[in-house]
């Protein structure tokens, strides 16, 4: 028996797991960094859900257009991550290496989920 989870459920489970990991990784992730990283997780959960709707294949879309759309979405998310890190460095500045590495790992998890979902989409007639 196989259970097929929706994209929303998979993203919510990933967000909960990341949230729990951030909560219990006490030595490397300090109390100063934790709330900001949890905010990054929540932000990417919402962004992934919005982008998944935007990346749905339309009947007249070519495979090339779909690939370009996914690449542009990933680039936008990567630039947002870079912006988050830059703002964090300028405004907060505490544990910048930990925040930067963790923010990019969170970005990578949600990007893999979005890309996998976009490549599994079928054309609707």
Domain that holds residue 46: 7-120
Question: Residue 27 and residue 39: Cα distance in Å, rounded?
Answer: 19
Is residue 1, in this structure, part of any structural domain at all?
Answer: no
Count of domains forming the chain:
1
User: Mean pLDDT score of the chain, rounded to an integer?
Assistant: 86
105 falls within a domain: yes
pLDDT single digits (tens) 37-53: 999 999 999 999 998 88
pLDDT in tens, 58-101: 778 788 888 888 889 889 888 988 998 899 999 988 888 889 89
Three-class SS state of 34: helix
- Rounded (10°) CA dihedral 63, 67, 72, 77: 130
Percent of the chain at pLDDT > 70 equals: 95
Q: Is 90 among the domain residues?
A: yes
Q: Answer whether residue 42 is part of any domain.
A: yes
Residue 123 pLDDT exceeds 60: no
CA distance 76 to 122: 24
The answer to the question of residue 38 being in a domain is yes
Task: Output the pTM of the full model.
Answer: 0.83
Query: Residue 31: helix, strand or coil by DSSP?
Result: coil
- Considering the domain boundaries, does residue 125 fall inside one? no
């Amino acid at each position: 028996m196989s259970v097929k989870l929706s994209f929303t459920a998979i993203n919510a489970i990933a967000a909960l797991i990341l949230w729990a990991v951030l909560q219990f990784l006490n030595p490397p992730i300090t109390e100063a960094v934790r709330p900001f990283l949890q905010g990054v997780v929540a932000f990417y959960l919402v962004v992934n859900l919005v982008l998944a709707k935007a990346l749905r294949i339309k009947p007249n879309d070519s495979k090339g257009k779909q690939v370009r759309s996914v690449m542009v979405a990933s680039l936008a998310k990567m630039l947002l991550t870079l912006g988050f890190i830059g703002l964090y460095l300028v405004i907060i500045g505490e544990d910048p290496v930990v925040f930067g590495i963790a923010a990019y790992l969170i970005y990578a998890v949600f990007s893999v989920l979005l890309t996998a979902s976009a490549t599994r989409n079928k054309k609707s007639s």
